[in-house]
Amino acid sequence: MLYNAEVLYSKGKAFGMTVLATRIRSVITFSLAIIYLSNLYIQSDLIGDLTLILLVILLSLSLAVVTGSAKVISYVSCGLSISLLIYYHAPLSIWKQALQENLYLVVMFTLVPLLGIPIQYGGYFESLQGVFKRYVHSNSQFYLLVSFISAFIGVLVNMAVVPLVHQISLASDKSSNKKLLSVAISRGFTTSMFWAPTTATIALVIQLTGAKWTLFFPFGILCAIIAGLIGYSLMMLEERKVENSLTTVVATVESTAEINLRKVIELTVFGIALIALIAIVSILTGISTIIVVSLVSLVFPVIWLGLIRRLPVLCREFRGDYFIERLPRMKNEIVLFVGAGLFATSISYSHLGDYVPLFLNLIVGSNAFLLTLFIIFGSLILAFLGVHPIITITILGGTVKAAAYGVTPTYMALILAISWAVGISVSPSAANVIAISGLTQQSPIQVGFHWNGLYVVIVSTVLIMILTMFSAVGLL
């Protein structure tokens, strides 16, 4: 009896310590983001040192609790980076640079989830579920709506789109088709990876290549549209001979579902306003798009919920779900981004990165088309094998210079963005593939390689042709 009491006490104490450590991580994560943004204008060396200290503490705490494929990737990247910096006797300034290389990404991903609060608690989900019940009666309609919602909401909430859209899609009986549901969510989410400034993909490739998002955006959105059309066409071909005998019955039974059209329009307007605000502020002020996204993520939810008279919800969810659940889940992104920054700096300082352009020159020479072909399909093959695109893109983006191949930074950014987007569609180590596999109870190999393999090959081929054509006529 006494032994059981001691065991329960020990477990309770351990649980309490875990909760405390989680709260500490949340406080440090949010404080780091606010202090970093504030110091962009204050420009204080003392505050800069404080952000570095907070980042080191946060990284240490996050490495202790990181899970899944992110654990392997982050441990390997951090281990190799530290070994290289020690071996090549890097000074303290290089260590600081390495740790803070991708700090802006950590800040952005810390604040972007705030945009999800108006979406979740603004009364939009019920209306979207009503759309499913009334209008979705075929596989093609289901795919089109799910992929569109995934693309749209993915711009605002990134990875959180997977469980959110999955929950919405359950309103349709078509969600029982695991493959249909999986490819609709994953391919829709992938399209946002081609252009959205709120995603890690675009944030990283813009920083690595030095491209301007405002110049990149038109080509990125075109790539997204093309990828979307290819995904829909493939689905139509696959489902062409499948007949659903229950379509008419379902349509009759569920056509009475209520839809709050005002809420659907409201969500669309706020979503478009968000992207427009980011673009306009970035153009007028010259501030980095990534920093603008971080700042807007702080302000826009207040405006949004204030206009629809639900501001108290923001305070409640900030103290609740955001602080207790969302920020602690940031551990994977934190270690991946900081690890990638460490790795990029260590490769650069050790001059090992110099071998990457040399290797490319041996294979592709100075031919831009062959470079495009090699990077996109090379990244795709590595993704098939389980190498997360963040590693491939960090190395290539940090070592390969656009000017050496006679192309613009925008062109190079597009190559890297395409490589990342198609890579995360099939990589068994990609967070979205893992999340979808868990929700659909399928293996990551099935969700990625088997269900999206042909799709990414066709998308990659078509987009390479489009980029080559644009480059040839001088548009890129």
How does pLDDT run across 243-278, given as a tens digit for each residue?
544 444 444 444 455 677 888 889 889 988 988 888
How does pLDDT run across 140-150, given as a tens digit for each residue?
889 999 999 89
With 0-12 / 13-18 / 19 or more C-beta atoms within 10 angstroms meaning exposed / middle / buried, residue 59 is buried
Hey, which bits of 146-273 come out as E strands?
Answer: none
pLDDT of residue 417: 96
- The better pLDDT of the pair 4, 63 is held by 63
- The better pLDDT of the pair 141, 109 is held by 141
Both tokens of 385, joined, read 């094998």
In order of 69, 71, 341, 343, the CA distances from 75 in angstroms are 10, 6, 13, 11
Integer Cα distance of 132 and 393 in angstroms: 37
Integer Cα distance of 59 and 63 in angstroms: 6
Both tokens of 264, joined, read 């659907």
* H or E segment to which residue 296 belongs: helix 289-307
How does pLDDT run across 17-51, given as a tens digit for each residue?
578 888 999 999 999 999 999 999 899 999 999 99
Please report, rounded to a whole number, the percentage of residues in the chain having pLDDT higher than 70.
Answer: 92
